[in-house]
Amino acid sequence: MPDCAKVFIQGQTTSNTVYTTSRVTVDGTDYAPGMFVSAGACGRLLQFWRIDEIFLVNNIVSLLCSSFESWYVEHVRCYELSPMPGRLSVFQISDLNDTITLAAYSIDGRLMLSLRRYILLRVASRQFPVPAFSYEVEHILREGNSAFEKTGKVLQLTRDQKHDILDKVSAAIYNFKAYPSDKELSKAAEALVTKHPCLRELGSDTGWYGWKTSIKFKMGNYRNKLRRAGCMEVAVNAGKRSKTSPDNEPSHSNIKRARRAKVNYLPDLPQGHDASTLEQQRVEITEEVQKAEKNLVVVDKKMQMTFALRRNEIITSPSPVKEILGRWPALRLESQVCAEFQRITNQNLANTFYAELDHHSLRLMSLYRQRVAKTGKTADALAEFLRVHDLKVLSPIVV
């Protein structure tokens, strides 16, 4: 065990025995060796760490992690990581920048890690993070909160001050989701009033219902601004019914939005590229896949480059699977199935699958035991497998 882990353990407990585990769930988030977390920052760049080992000290989860140097690659909107050999550290869950664990993927031999999922999924298990406002508004809110604690008097905002608050909150919500649900809007409004009680609405059952309504309309205006700016994720829903186009479908019907774990739902085209240049790369991918000796590195690089074009085709003009595979034959490759899953969800398909398999393995093994008993076959091999599995899940370490 590394010296840093020994020192940490000795500072936490006098026991000579600690336990390791191959997987742990904390507040609904799964952690496993090989996943990436973020802790600390250097020069405004997040510092990323790969989990090497998970151990329990006084029933507190601790992570032994290896450090990775990072820098942001604008072209693919990801962090590029490179290992820093020998630099290890131990973190508790509370030390992390967030509770989301991340899986990295490779592009042309480089280790990449997307930031957007790191931001997006935080809303699921944590309170909405109220953003900072302008200096003027922050000063007024501090004074207002102080007065509210003493006298219970709420703050009266000017139009510009309220506009600044709604703008900042809408932009923060958009970082999580372009089309938030009613429940998510309620959480944002509640978090705003909780952090700044001077903004409570007198006479309201919740104290924030009016803020929720204002945020909802401001989100619509914010999406319109982004739509006019050409943001693909919201521009795809343009062209609905209006005064000039009364025969089009209603504005609230068939909204194309991210669902489930789709993080990169409809990204913008890469900087410096348009549909024609990406179409040429698609043709090159098709030609490369047809070769007997495929250059999988080239295929992966071009599939990453054309991801936005592919998502635009799938979402804006849904086609049968056969046609999609005809245009993108690389999606028939196992490596590209995993890579595409990674691009859309920022989750490692193999890690996710095996983690879920581990989650259900005990029940599956129980079913297998019953099946073996019914057929009269010996369960020795399965018993040995279970014994090895149990040793891996929970094994003592002597410090």
Task: Answer whether 210's CB lies under 8 Å from 201's CB.
Answer: yes
HSE, side-chain direction, 13 A CA sphere, residue 238: 14
Tell me what the mean pLDDT of segment 241-257 comes to.
57
HSE, side-chain direction, 13 A CA sphere, residue 113: 28
Work out the number of other CB atoms within 10 angstroms of the CB of residue 254.
9
pLDDT of residue 380: 66
Tokens of 131: 């953003």
Of residues 106 and 124, more confidence is placed in 106
Tell me what the mean pLDDT of segment 296-304 comes to.
90
Of residues 349 and 245, more confidence is placed in 349
Band of pLDDT at residue 379, cut at 50, 70 and 90: low
Q: Give which of 207, 229, 234, 205 is closest to 219, Cα–Cα.
A: 234
Tell me what the mean pLDDT of segment 181-207 comes to.
90
pLDDT of residue 390: 66
pLDDT of residue 83: 81
Task: Answer whether 112's CB lies under 8 Å from 104's CB.
Answer: yes
Among the four given CATH numbers 3.90.480.20, 2.40.260.10, 3.30.1330.10, 2.30.30.490, the one describing domain 3-124: 2.30.30.490
Band of pLDDT at residue 115, cut at 50, 70 and 90: very low
Work out the number of other CB atoms within 10 angstroms of the CB of residue 272.
7
pLDDT of residue 48: 84
Q: Give which of 24, 28, 50, 53 is closest to 37, Cα–Cα.
A: 50
Burial 42-63 (b: 16+ CB within 10 A, else e): eeeebbbbbbebbbebeeebbb
Cα separation, 354 vs 363, whole angstroms: 15
Tell me what the mean pLDDT of segment 7-23 comes to.
73
pLDDT of residue 79: 67
With a pLDDT cut of 70, the percent of the chain lying above it is 70
Phi, psi of 71 (to 5 degrees): -150, 150
Cα separation, 186 vs 182, whole angstroms: 6
Is pLDDT of 223 > 60?
yes
Q: Which long-range contacts (CB under 8 A, 24 or more apart) does 254-261 make?
A: 255/179, 256/315, 256/316, 257/177, 257/178, 257/179, 258/177, 258/178, 258/179, 258/233, 261/344, 261/345, 261/347
Tens digit of pLDDT for each residue in 61-80?
888 898 887 765 544 456 67
Tens digit of pLDDT for each residue in 134-170?
889 999 999 999 999 999 899 999 999 999 999 999 9
- Give the range among 178-192, 194-208, 262-276 with minimum mean pLDDT: 262-276
pLDDT of residue 145: 93
* Average predicted confidence (pLDDT) for the chain: 77
Phi, psi of 345 (to 5 degrees): -110, -15
Task: Answer whether 37's CB lies under 8 Å from 48's CB.
Answer: yes
pLDDT of residue 31: 82
Secondary structure (3-state) at 218:
helix
Cα separation, 39 vs 367, whole angstroms: 41
Phi, psi of 201 (to 5 degrees): -100, 120
pLDDT of residue 357: 81
Tens digit of pLDDT for each residue in 318-355?
778 888 899 999 999 998 998 888 888 767 788 778 87
Is pLDDT of 125 > 50?
no
Task: Answer whether 71's CB lies under 8 Å from 79's CB.
Answer: yes
pLDDT of residue 289: 92
Cα separation, 206 vs 196, whole angstroms: 14
Cα separation, 270 vs 307, whole angstroms: 9
pLDDT of residue 14: 67
First vs last Cα of the chain: how many Å apart?
Answer: 8
Going by the DSSP 8-state scheme, the letter that residue 153 receives in this structure is P
Task: Answer whether 49's CB lies under 8 Å from 38's CB.
Answer: yes
Of residues 353 and 110, more confidence is placed in 353
Q: Give which of 360, 300, 366 is closest to 336, Cα–Cα.
A: 300
Is pLDDT of 265 > 80?
no
Numbered ranges of CATH 2.30.30.490 in the chain: 3-124
Tell me what the mean pLDDT of segment 189-205 comes to.
91
pLDDT of residue 105: 45
Cα separation, 369 vs 96, whole angstroms: 41
pLDDT of residue 174: 82
With a pLDDT cut of 90, the percent of the chain lying above it is 23
**Beta carbons within 8 Å of 266's beta carbon, 6+ residues apart:** 232, 233, 236, 256, 308, 311, 312, 315
Chain center to CA of 217: 26
